[in-house]
Amino acid sequence: MNIVDISEKRYTAKHYDETQKIPADKIEQLLTVLRNSPSSVNSQPWHFYVIDNNAAKNKILPAITEFNQSKVTGSSHTIVFCIKTPLDEAHLVNLLNQEEKDGRLPTAELKQAQDQGRRHFVQLNSATPESQQCWEGKQAYIALGQLLFAAAAIGIDSTAIEGYNSEKMDEILDLKSKGLKSIVVATLGYRAENDGNAHRPKSRLPKEQLFTFL
């Protein structure tokens, strides 16, 4: 399939076949896609909780809005996207050291420039805790988009879930003590035969209403 075919065939799963598990090699591919996701100034302000067993699903279930709970229990894997609160010094140093290790910063001058540039943009978006969380959340949603498209490309169904109680999720996973905050949830798996959404035509506004060419 080409990318247009993938975009046209992808849909939001409403019901999963809980008997089907995603093979480990495909999960590894999707985790690699998440790891490789782009972010502003390569900030990578995220952490992902990967849930693949009933005990862990049941643990987070009280945080999931009732009409979304069956998506979690029926999924093969559920991923809780988290952001760092705050984006602290340790993370910035870790990023810089990793970039140097990966060969992106061959000189001291480049390393200093990268560090200063990133800190500048982090500071610009950190006037308040809320503004920093908003900025980091945008990065997490870039990763979410990558995941949803990549999953469709390898034949895996998915659902992005905002219908959950973030404060409850943070409490269940003890995220505050880890300097994290949940931002969105995604479920992955294989559609159930009775998933009516799989058989409905995709509906999108026509391109004439969406694009302005200058």
Contacts made by residues 200-209, CB under 8 angstroms, sequence distance 24+: 200/11, 202/8, 202/11
Q: Residue written as tokens 């973030």?
A: 166
Active site residue 168: no
- The alpha-helical segments, DSSP class H, found in 48-179 are 54-60, 69-74, 89-101, 108-124, 129-153, 166-172
Active site residue 162: yes
| Cβ pair 46, 82 in contact under 8 A | yes
Torsion of CA 145, 147, 152, 158, to 10 degrees: -90
Catalytic-labelled residue, pool 9, 162, 167, 176: 162
Per this entry, what is the length of the chain? Answer: 214
Report helix angle 129-153 to 24-35, nearest 10.
140
Catalytic-labelled residue, pool 26, 57, 71, 84: 71
CA–CA distance, 193 with 179 (Å, rounded to integer): 41
Active site residue 9: no
Q: Is residue 82 within a helix (H) or strand (E), and if so which, with residue range? A: strand 77-84
Residues labelled catalytic: 14, 71, 162
